[in-house]
Amino acid sequence: MSDNRQMVLGTYNQKKRGELQRLMVPLGIELKTLEEFPAAIEVVEDGHSFAENAAKKATQQAVAIGQWVLAEDSGLCVDALKGAPGIYSARFSGDDATDEKNNDLLLEKLEGLPPEKRGAHYVCHIVLSNPQGEVVLQAEDKCHGRIITQRRGTHGFGYDPLFELREYHRTFGEMGPAIKGLISHRAKASRAFVEQLGAMLAKNPTLLAQ
């Protein structure tokens, strides 16, 4: 991998970095996380959509650390809950939310609903900001499924053990990273993003040079 093309993923989540890094390899881009940048700030995610939150995380962090920053906002939208938890997916169960608490609350709210009324979809919106805090690229995609009645599988994070893809009869929690890396909302949005980024770098190969 070339060591002079670099961007920062606006998160401390190493699992997210791992998923995205695999897609960046063909472009020779090293993806870092905020862990390596002491000047990183805590961005208040008070936008009204995944797109707004992703843009805030990318642009504000880019200015703070002086780097190209890739940020994404993603979450689970449940039909029976009118799209909730949506942009509040990570803190669905309150300020002290954990994956376990969020999953417990989701099961509680859907208790008694039959399979046909448990439809849901994941959304992922990705934004790239230059060091000046300007949005340069963005992409969004979704993955449709349903919420099952008990956890299955130990892979992934968030609501993955409860989110079943109907056509596979398996949850994200039961799928390894290789499979999820092909069919998830984040994977699809990332591929669309990487395609745009590749075209941009073809026109300006030194754009991300350090």
What does pTM read for this prediction? 0.89
158 annotated to a ligand binding site: yes
* 73 annotated active-site: yes
The answer to whether residue 165 is domain-embedded is yes
Tally the domains of the chain.
Answer: 1
Q: What is the mean pLDDT of the chain?
A: 92
CB 162 within 8 A of CB 103: yes
The answer to whether residue 210 is domain-embedded is no
Which of 3, 46, 73, 95 is catalytic? The answer is 73
Range of the domain at 148: 6-203
Reading the block at residue 36, the tokens are 């390596």
- Residue 118, domain CATH: 3.90.950.10
The answer to whether residue 1 is domain-embedded is no
- Read off the pLDDT band of 82 (50, 70, 90): very high
The answer to whether residue 93 is domain-embedded is yes
32 annotated to a ligand binding site: no
CB atoms within 10 A of CB 3: 8
pLDDT at 210: 61
**Residue 68 clears pLDDT 70, i.e. is over it:** yes
The answer to whether residue 208 is domain-embedded is no
Beta bridge pairs of residue 135: 129
The answer to whether residue 60 is domain-embedded is yes
pLDDT at 205: 86
Name the residue with tokens 């995205």.
20
pLDDT tens digits, one per residue of 175-185: 988 788 788 89
Of residues 169 and 24, the one with the higher pLDDT is: 169
Distance CA 115, CA 61 (A): 41
73 annotated to a ligand binding site: yes
The answer to whether residue 132 is domain-embedded is yes
